[in-house]
Structure 1
């Protein structure tokens, strides 16, 4: 497997889920963390989110080329469907999160 495929397929979704979980935990349990760090992590999630659909896009184009030219046969296995579901759910989770919650605890103590 090529390096950029591993990064786009494994590292990007994993990084996105871990950072989002960390931000959610700090907001939910009001852990004393610097709000600037959480804001930077949220911006990283937004930036990484742009690239999270890259694999699905590439697979769709390759599938269309293969089907169009009848070069080979392709079967979509359950892992591809599950990967697409994880990517879509992490996109919705990042979009649904209200970044103002990061600063609520800071504003309450001021």
Structure 2
């Protein structure tokens, strides 16, 4: 139940994280706030496709994949889906491993804010979107920690016990 609550919270917070400005770069008095997707497109248009790819993966793809993985895991447990436990455990391990990579984007923003303080020449300020994004990262990390992967194996054992019981009943008949 806690995993569901945290996953839904993360999904809802992903909306303001992608709509609100993540940071504002002001260079020589000119600049405007940019969102995650807007910043990624701007990097790509300026020929920085490698950095744009990293930002896109860390800020868009990873959180979405993590939330989808958490929903799949929660549905497997709640609906007792007939899924091979090894496959479900792979999903769990991937979701657990990729979660930390979302922090890469926040790390980049914090370094930019700390390093680029040139007064009237250039200024970088973190926006409300970065706070929402940081909250998404933390909430989804808690969601993964709250999920108990043993539940996957419990479902498998229950199904195997039911199959064994059915086989024994058929033998008696």
Q: Give the match's secondary structure for 2:116.
A: helix
Q: Give the match's secondary structure for 2:148.
A: coil
Length-normalised TM-score, structure 2: 0.59
Q: Does 1:72 align with 2:122?
A: yes
Q: Which runs of 5+ in 2 are unaligned?
A: 1-39, 41-51, 162-173
Alignment partners' CA distance in 2, 1:59 and 1:74: 9
Cα deviation per residue 1:37-65 (whole Å; 9 max; x = unaligned)?
Answer: 11000011111023121111111111110
Q: Would you identify which runs of 4 or more consecutive aligned residues in structure 1 move more than 3 Å? A: none
CA contact (8 A) 2:112 2:124 kept: no
1:44-83 aligned at under 5 Å gives the runs 44-67=94-117, 69-70=118-119, 71-83=121-133
Q: Which residue in 1 is equivalent to 2:156?
A: 106
Which of 122, 126, 142 is the aligned partner of 1:92?
Answer: 142
Q: Give the match's secondary structure for 1:90.
A: helix
Which of 15, 29, 39 is the aligned partner of 2:79?
Answer: 29
After TM superposition, give the deviation of residue 74 of structure 1 in Å: 2.5
How many aligned residue pairs are there? 109
Q: Which has the larger radius of gyration?
A: 2
Q: Which residue in 1 is equivalent to 2:36?
A: none
**Greater share of residues in strand:** 2
Q: Which residue in 1 is equivalent to 2:62?
A: 12
Q: Give the match's secondary structure for 2:101.
A: coil
